[in-house]
Amino acid sequence: MADVRDCHRIMCIRPLHAALTTLALSGSAVIAAPPAAAPSAPPLPPEQLTTTVLGPAAPHWIYVLDEAFANEIDARIYLFDGDSHRRLGQIDAGFDPGFNLSPDGRTTVVATTYFARGGHGARTDVVEFTDNSTLGVTHEIVLPPKRAQTLPTYFNVGYSADSRFVYVAYVVPAASFGVLDPVHGKVLSEIDTAGCMLVIPSGPNRVSSICESGRLLTVTLDAGGHERSRTLSAPFFDVDTDPVFAQGVPSRKGVLFLSFLGQVHEVDLTGAQPAIGAPWWLLTAAERGHWRPGGYQVGAIHRALGKLYVPMHQGGEGTHKDGGTEVWVYDLASHRRVARWPVPPDGDGRAIAVQVSQDSRPLVFLALDNSDVEVLDAATGRLEHIEKHLGETPWVLMNP
């Protein structure tokens, strides 16, 4: 005899099976046949990627370093045309980079750091060389993991005047610099700088560094890139009462340093050791303590015209990173202020970096702290263009 539980199971299953069968049959009677498939479109042709050659640099091209301060592992260098107001391309620049241009303007050199896992992991310091006609990296030199990761200046990395050497600032925290052979792609030497920082090239084989004592250390190299001799200048500024911006301004004969209070220190680097001129003021006696320079790139010089352009603001001690509300223009021969331009209104943006092209009809470029870049006529200060949001934090501008 069958178990009662089996009978119950059979009695339950059979009605359910009958119901499902009925449902399936009735459903199949109402399902319409699918429509005939439409003929498919022919596939798109494969996309072909090409590289555009930019050709010779134009006088109003500007390289804009975006430090990407809110996203520091992903800095960029944008190439912008001040005439067409077009962004021509970009160079990836890694974490906290330094960058510079070769003396002939054909190569961008970027000293940067990468981490294996983005923001962490194994560290690789490297110098990358980019062909400025294609913005493609051509080769690189791996560095020891001690590259100086500082606010960008002209002097984190730079070429010798004959392009034979490239110099890179190191700090771990001991300060030194590396001497590189860009043609053969190797590190030649490391030069201890006794606490002095940055690399300020002059001539084919000299490098100066600025010291916390207010002096300049200058090292002369031999043909192999090793130290041959060194000299130390007398102090030329007071580090306690009026320090200078490390963001020196390249000049026709060397470099010009602005102080926090507005003094100008001109350094001639054409000789075997620096020749430092008598300081002069950007401000009148009445203006001192009220107006001062500030920002991340605090001046630019048109070498042929002998004009200095400085963003200035009203502020007290501690405002040396504040951007300018005006641009003051000086004649370097007479030390006179010859123009005073309000920064063109663009919201509440202030000028934190300045550059001027070196041609006979120059343009002044201003990077603002709201990430816009303004283009001005360098003779009149007239606004030519505002490029909105050129990166996140555009802090350094360079011109071939």
Residue type, 361: R
Distance between CA 282 and CA 335 in Å, rounded? 8
Query: In angstroms, rounded to a whole number, what is the distance separating the alpha carbons of residues 200 and 211?
Result: 12
pLDDT, position 322: 96
What is the model's pLDDT at position 41?
Answer: 87
Q: Would you say 222 and 228 are in contact if contact means Cβ atoms under 8 Å apart? A: yes
Given this model, what pLDDT does residue 37 score?
Answer: 73
* Average pLDDT, rounded, for the chain: 91
Residue 254 has pLDDT above 80, yes or no: yes
39-83 pLDDT, tens per residue? 888 889 998 888 789 988 899 999 999 999 998 899 999 999 999
Average of pLDDT values for 345-370?
A: 94
- Are 220 and 205 a contacting pair, CB within 8 Å? yes
Query: What per-residue confidence (pLDDT) applies to 373?
Result: 97
Q: Which residue has the tokens 């439409």?
A: 38
CA distance 380 to 89: 29
What is the tally of helices (H) and strands (E) in the chain? 1, 29
All residues at 6 or more sequence positions from 140 whose CB lies less than 8 Å from its CB, including other chains: 126, 127, 128, 129, 185
Q: How far apart are CA 351 and CA 369, in angstroms?
A: 6
The type of residue at 182 is P
- Residue closest to 116 by CA, chosen among 103, 125, 107: 125
pLDDT digits (tens, 9 = 90+) for 376-385: 999 999 999 9
User: In the chain, which ranges are continuous DSSP H helix?
Assistant: 4-28
Res 24: pLDDT? 41
Contacts 24+ apart (CB under 8 A), 233-240: 233/273, 233/274, 233/276, 234/276, 236/265, 236/267, 236/276, 236/279, 237/263, 237/265, 237/279, 238/214, 239/212, 239/213, 239/214
pLDDT of residue 51: 78
Arithmetic mean of pLDDT, 97-115: 96
pLDDT at 32: 62
3-state secondary structure 198-262: EEEEECCCEEEEECCCCCEEEEEECCCCCEEEEEECCCCCCCCCCCECCCCEECCCEEEEEECCC
DSSP 345: P
Q: Which two tokens stand for residue 222?
A: 């031999």
What is the predicted pLDDT for the residue at 342? Answer: 96
Per-residue pLDDT reduced to its tens digit, 184-218: 999 999 999 999 999 999 999 999 999 999 999 99
Around Cβ 355, how many Cβ atoms within 10 Å? Answer: 25
pLDDT digits 0-9 by tens, 312-322: 999 999 999 99
Given this model, what pLDDT does residue 89 score? 95
Amino acid 243: pLDDT: 97
390's tokens: 């050129």
Inter-residue contact 282 to 328 (CB < 8 Å): yes
pLDDT tens digits for 8-45?
443 444 444 444 444 344 444 455 666 777 788 888 99
- Residue 399's pLDDT band, with cuts at 50, 70 and 90, is very high
For the ranges 173-177, 254-258, 270-274, the lowest mean pLDDT is seen at: 270-274
Q: What Cα–Cα distance (Å) separates residue 337 from each residue in 92, 208, 209, 363?
A: 39, 29, 29, 19
Q: What is the rounded end-to-end Cα distance, in angstroms, of the chain?
A: 103
Question: If we measure between CA atoms, which residue out of 189, 187, 200 comes closest to residue 157?
Answer: 200
pLDDT score at 38: 76
How does pLDDT run across 135-170, given as a tens digit for each residue? 999 999 999 999 999 988 999 999 999 999 999 999
